[in-house]
Structure 1
Amino acid sequence: MAFKIGLLGLGTVGTGTAQILLDPQGRHPLLQEIEVYRVGVRSLDKPRLVEMSESLLTTDLESIVTDPHVDIVVEVMGGLEPARSLILKAIANGKHVVTANKAVISRYGDEIFTAANQAGVYVMLEAAVGGGIPVIQPLKQALSVNRIHSVTGIVNGTTNYILSRMQTEGGEFSEILADAQQLGYAEADPTADVDGLDAADKMAILASLAFGGRIKLPEIYCEGISKVSAADIAYAEKLGFTIKLLAIAKQDLPAPEKGTSLQVRVHPTLVPKTHPLASISGVYNAILVEGEPIGQVMFYGRGAGSGPTASAVVSDILNIAAILKSGGDAAKLHPLLSCSHQDYCAIAPMEELVTRFYARFLTRDRPGVIGKLGTSFGNHQVSLESVVQTGIHGELAEIVVVTHDVREGNFRQALDEIRTLDTIDSIPSILRVL
């Protein structure tokens, strides 16, 4: 029995997927029973990096998802449409689906998984987060016996590459970004990466799996790295931190009157150099899961690219093929592979977040300015861990503060008061501290 694959897309990831499926020797023997049956492409004339019969190719993508011979539809074309519509049509036609499309899943996952559960088919998405890093299946299976407390990740290679170079070279964001674009590490339009939107898509998926509920993407707080300066990188270094764009999902301890809610957020963060994520540099990704009783587990590897992402895609194909081969009843989805939760997680508002902060102030060089800062912070129950006057810029002094744990709402109120002080010129940087 051969399991027939309908592949939507033959770009970077599609090519890598086809190369694995067409060359199964030395891999799991079940791969020899998987056949690339149809391949949907935008153009039939484009040169290919993988050898396959021209008869497999078609520009009619809908004919693949409705073909009665296709068992598994693999969507690696990217974008929201027509990917979403093709996935839904594949499900309606009783096809299992494997996708690498984090944007479609994070935005339309409720619609897609509801349809899949009703149709009795699987939608697998290991490749949607972290490239080839196996994290989706562990969250569904091996780690599901734990009470997950938090998932913290560096899940965007472009921003990690930029911040890593800013740290090693002392350059500013804009110049490093331009160089990264020239080298192909950043897109021509880098908005999704540098504004944190790509990381938010991925954290929506991870949080949903870790905490057993659907996540509304607009409720994820999202802040990018464009305001991180070389000065902030240097001060973080002196204070024993490195700056990373982190995606964080954390379960608040339940208050008796409020119940449990999640913090789900993406923002640049000062990470202590002793923390496991501090050493993750360049284009690499890492996801740290903390739970009880397991403690800490970290998943690390390349978060993108043809080979790593294709590895995750084919692992999902293999899982589905294994179930079909063992005679799995399509009407009874495997509870550790399907996604069955229906309820939405309650997301805590950012003003309720309790964390530490780093802030950099430019002040007029007058006596008592640090005292006034301290008074304003104290008025709003903000306790300071350190205050450093770092230098003079013309007629302005630069002061850096790091707080103890504080409620974000209180910290913001303190900043509003500080902005009214005649000794304060500006607050060029505010960052959270892990």
Structure 2
Amino acid sequence: MSEQSNKPLVIGLAGFGTVGGGLARLLEENADLIRRRGGRDMIVKKVLVRHAGKARNVALPPGAELTTDPAALTDDPEIDVLVELMGGIEAPGKIIDRALDMGKHVVTANKALLAEKGLALLEKARDKDRILRYEASVAGAIPVVAALKESLAGNRIASLVGILNGTSNYILSEMTSNGLDFNVALKQAQELGYAEADPTLDIDGHDAAHKLTILIQLAYGAYYPFTAMPVRGIRGLSGMDIRLAREFGYRIKLIAQVRECDHQPGESPRLEAGVFPALVHHTLLLARVGGVYNAVRVESNAAGSLFFHGRGAGDLPTAGAVLADLVAVAREERPNNTGFVSPRLEAAAVVPPEEWRSCYYVRLMVDDAPGVLRDLAGCMADEGISLAQVIQKSDEGNGVPLVFMTHETTEEAMSRALQHSLDRGMLREPAVYFRVVG
């Protein structure tokens, strides 16, 4: 330990909302534990807010000063570490960049910033020999970032699949367990504070995609551009598909998944990665993740299958992850920001979505007429798609639901077969189809 190791760790806190308030509470309640684990006291010197006169539900940390000037944090030589809990991309990105220039360590929970602009910040942190930690950016209290960086460092990661957005999982859980329509479940989530007034980031899958981008870097030491990731959310998902999926023994979940394909030593990893609604068999742990909880399943060549489950958001769960990062800074640990020592993250080789192979659930609305099933099966067969199961339901008023469960095929083949069926007038409306995750 250095001569400074018994000196209190001085924190500049940018943002004092839900998580910032939770951090202030934990710093006070767990002060003795923090001292025993980190070997030092922690004090918050300054707190950056947008409006200094705003009434707050949580008291400021003892001795902390409010400021609206970012330079008061980044340029203060007494501040050792910047904790960024503001949210957004441009403003916090500038503050973190300046803090690194001024020789400060950084702890952040900002998944959007790390996914879209994080590569440059990670490279600057490495060049400056500064710690940049971000456990709280993915899955709240679940320590999956640390696990990938440290505990699983001796494993080759074959795949990672997760439920990374609590809002979407709550909506799907309510639709599955209580039969609510999508719009009703969304409104309920907003009333309970689980969904924002504008839920776009959550229900359209972008929040989960931000988190998956970060996990890919940690699992493979490779950069997968957020803008290249295929993303499909749950907006407007039909209760009919929830019910029909259950008849086959599945639950529909918003899944974030990455798989490595055809690993060749010395070459950039070839990765399938994306966010999409998928069917998960009810016997799997992922299918049983309910409400606002998150989960991540990691498949590796040494440890095998590992399952992480817990609270993915909230004041204290997320603040606890931030505090764990601060303890690492207090210990003056050597920077280990990505889990890899290479100077730069290499670019991953992106496998196009149309080449992905999966089993599929397909729901078609058709006329109740002789030969329809035969003709549709023919369209599938023309693209080499083999059917595993078929069920037909009674007329729903806009046609008869016809559901196929397929054997493994490609996205491209499935898309062509369904487009041909629509073009030939076999369908009342465009088909609905989802991948099946094993």
Can you list the C-alpha shifts for 1:234-274, whole angstroms capped at 9, x where unaligned? 00111000000000011113489x98510110000000111
Match status 1:87 vs 2:87? no
* CA deviation after TM superposition for structure 1 residue 55, in Å: 5.4
Aligned mates of 2:268, 2:341 — CA distance in 1: 24
Contact 2:14 / 2:84 at 8 angstroms: preserved in 1? yes
Can you list the C-alpha shifts for 1:129-152, whole angstroms capped at 9, x where unaligned? 011111101100111110100111
Structure 2 residue corresponding to 1:99, chosen from 82, 102, 108: 108
Per the alignment, residue 365 of structure 1 pairs with: 368
Per the alignment, residue 42 of structure 1 pairs with: 50
Distance 1:27 1:233, change over 3 A: same
Per the alignment, residue 303 of structure 1 pairs with: 312
Aligned mates of 1:17, 1:305 — CA distance in 2: 11
How do 1:35-434 residues align onto structure 2 when only pairs under 5 Å count?
Answer: 35-48=43-56, 49-53=58-62, 56-254=65-263, 260-323=269-332, 333-334=335-336, 340=342, 341-394=344-397, 396-434=399-437
Contact 1:271 / 1:433 at 8 angstroms: preserved in 2? yes
Distance 1:348 1:55, change over 3 A: closer
Can you list the C-alpha shifts for 1:358-392, whole angstroms capped at 9, x where unaligned? 11111112111111011110000011111111111
* CA deviation after TM superposition for structure 1 residue 20, in Å: 1.6
Aligned mates of 1:42, 1:68 — CA distance in 2: 22
Aligned mates of 1:433, 1:347 — CA distance in 2: 21
One-letter identity of the residue aligned with 1:181: Q
Which deviates more, 152-161 or 114-123? 114-123
Aligned mates of 2:395, 2:61 — CA distance in 1: 65
* CA deviation after TM superposition for structure 1 residue 336, in Å: 7.4
Distance 1:376 1:198, change over 3 A: same
* CA deviation after TM superposition for structure 1 residue 354, in Å: 0.1
Match status 1:13 vs 2:22? no
One-letter identity of the residue aligned with 1:367: P
Which deviates more, 227-236 or 93-102? 227-236
Distance 1:218 1:407, change over 3 A: same
Distance 1:112 1:352, change over 3 A: same
Aligned mates of 2:49, 2:74 — CA distance in 1: 13
Which deviates more, 27-36 or 158-167? 27-36
**Structure 2 regions of 5+ residues with no counterpart?**
1-6
* CA deviation after TM superposition for structure 1 residue 420, in Å: 2.1
Distance 1:168 1:190, change over 3 A: same
Can you list the C-alpha shifts for 1:54-98, whole angstroms capped at 9, x where unaligned? 752211122201111111100001111210000000001110000
One-letter identity of the residue aligned with 2:8: A
Contact 2:19 / 2:314 at 8 angstroms: preserved in 1? yes
Match status 1:4 vs 2:10? yes
* CA deviation after TM superposition for structure 1 residue 100, in Å: 0.3
Contact 2:133 / 2:325 at 8 angstroms: preserved in 1? yes
Identity of aligned residues (%): 38
Aligned mates of 1:392, 1:163 — CA distance in 2: 25
Which deviates more, 146-155 or 51-60? 51-60
* CA deviation after TM superposition for structure 1 residue 393, in Å: 2.6
Aligned mates of 1:398, 1:247 — CA distance in 2: 28
Per the alignment, residue 4 of structure 2 pairs with: none
Per the alignment, residue 3 of structure 2 pairs with: none
Which deviates more, 335-344 or 380-389? 335-344
Contact 1:113 / 1:339 at 8 angstroms: preserved in 2? no
Aligned mates of 2:432, 2:338 — CA distance in 1: 44
Aligned mates of 1:37, 1:127 — CA distance in 2: 22
Contact 1:161 / 1:281 at 8 angstroms: preserved in 2? yes
Does the residue aligned with 2:120 lie in a helix, a strand or coil? helix
Question: TM (normalized to structure 1)?
Answer: 0.94
Question: TM (normalized to structure 2)?
Answer: 0.93
Aligned mates of 1:44, 1:338 — CA distance in 2: 40
Can you list the C-alpha shifts for 1:109-128, whole angstroms capped at 9, x where unaligned? 11101111111101100000
